[in-house]
Chains A and B, each alone.
Chain A
Amino acid sequence: MADAIGKNYQKIISEKQDIIRDEWLKRLKVALEYQKDILTEKELNKNLDGFMTLFLKTIRSEEKDLLSGKEWKELKEHLSQIIQKWASQGFSIRETLSFLLTFERVLFERIREELGKEERENLDEFTGLEELLTELEEFVAEQHVKNREEIIARQQREILELSTPVVTLWKGILAVPLIGTLDSARTQTVMETLLQKIVETGSEIAIIDITGVPAVDTQVAQHIIKTIDAARLMGADCIISGIRPQIAQTMVALGVTFDVVTKATLADAFSIALKRLGFEIKEDRREEK
């Protein structure tokens, strides 16, 4: 809830909007340590002018509660676009907030100067304006955090894809070394990549190595089982390797089974895979002769 802004305040802000705007731009540039390679002069001016226009509209609004009017909504929408852009450019929370803080400072200074002595002592009219600005500042802080969180989430998805390599061990033999916590999104990505790679390379055997996985729950197991089934339909067999003792026992208690060959180590799995493809592994003893 923010009360209507007094008429003489409205008058001051409207009449002096150009002075306020210019002073604001000056201070904002200082606060941002302005560099035009990041933010063009033109864009910055557009941001300020847009805000100024919508801010004036908001305080002139006929609404009883300024925060329920459509002018307020437009103002927030404009701000939101600015900070979203800034967040994507890596602006800090301090820099983002300085957009409003410098505006507030300039605005109040101007009002103090224009008001008569008596009016200056009447603080009641100040409240509405302050409430409005506080509300905007909270909004900016919240939006900034939200934008950063979106960026973090996107980076997480990128890491997810980076950290799921499928490697060719031999012609016809693929291996996926799974490492770390397997949330379902990640398991799914790995499995999709594996199936894709089976098609691309025409491999007959895929080794899924889970040495680096700390826990296998039913959902992870289900993803692995589905991949085994899908690979089989594509003419490839899977071998699971690296099931550690504690995981084996946990899986038995859960009642999960894998309907394929499983081996304790990746080396064992590789050796079986080579044999299946018709290779023979021999130790070279020439040196002993």
Chain B
Amino acid sequence: MEAAIEEKTIKIKESNDVVTVRREAREYAEKLGFNLLEQTKIVTAASEIARNAIVFGGGGIARFTTIEKPDKRGLQISFIDHGPGIEDIEAAMKDGYTTGGGLGLGLGGTKRLMDEFHIRSEPGKGTSVTIVKYL
């Protein structure tokens, strides 16, 4: 039986923290046994969402959890900020849509990189994004 991998929550506030999120994401993905391609996808997805939380949400937290189900294992990463929230989630998910001068591929692209993608946002309250990749 492998030792359980502990859950971890880290603060994300400055743009440098994106680098920390990427490193953590890679470490978790490696420990869980994802292959290099999947690791790269997870790292890239985490990078996108972390940056959104910092740039648009004014910072928040990133939580790394492992999923242990009888039929599948996986890595779940949640990002929570208490920023202004997203007015129109449907539009934000569309490729090419941006309010911040970026490429507008972050959210839609992340969804394509991961197996699960959940987004909840309330204007004025903040945004939470949870992404999951299964082994």
| Residue in A181, A221, A249, A250 whose CB lies within 8 Å of B22 | A181
Cβ-defined contact, B113 with A256, below 8 A: no
The answer to whether residues A254 and B112 also contact, given A215-B43, A215-B44 and a CB cut-off of 8 A, is: yes
Considering the chains assembled together, what is the distance between the CA atoms of A247 and B22 in angstroms?
A: 15
9-residue interface stretch from B3-11, B99-107, B121-129: B99-107
| Residue in A219, A245, A247, A250 whose CB lies within 8 Å of B113 | A250
The interface size bin for chain A is 20 to 34
Chain A residue, CB-CB nearest to B55 = A219
The answer to whether residues A183 and B108 also contact, given A215-B40, A215-B47 and a CB cut-off of 8 A, is: no
| Residue in A183, A218, A250 whose CB lies within 8 Å of B103 | A218
The DSSP consensus for interface residues of chain B is helix
B41 within 8 A of A: yes
Q: Kindly count the residue-residue contacts between A and B in the assembled complex, taking CB atoms under 8 Å apart.
A: 71
Contact with A along B36-78 (1 / 0, CB 8 A): 1101110110011001000000000000000000000000000
Cβ-defined contact, B47 with A255, below 8 A: no
Cβ-defined contact, B26 with A219, below 8 A: no
- Expressed in whole angstroms, the minimum distance between the Cβ of B11 and any Cβ of chain A is 15
Q: Which residues of A contact B116 (CB under 8 A)?
A: none
Where the two chains meet, the residues of B that have a C-beta atom closer than 8 Å to any C-beta of A are: 15-16, 18-19, 22-23, 26, 36-37, 39-41, 43-44, 47-48, 51, 95, 102-103, 105-106, 108-110, 112-113
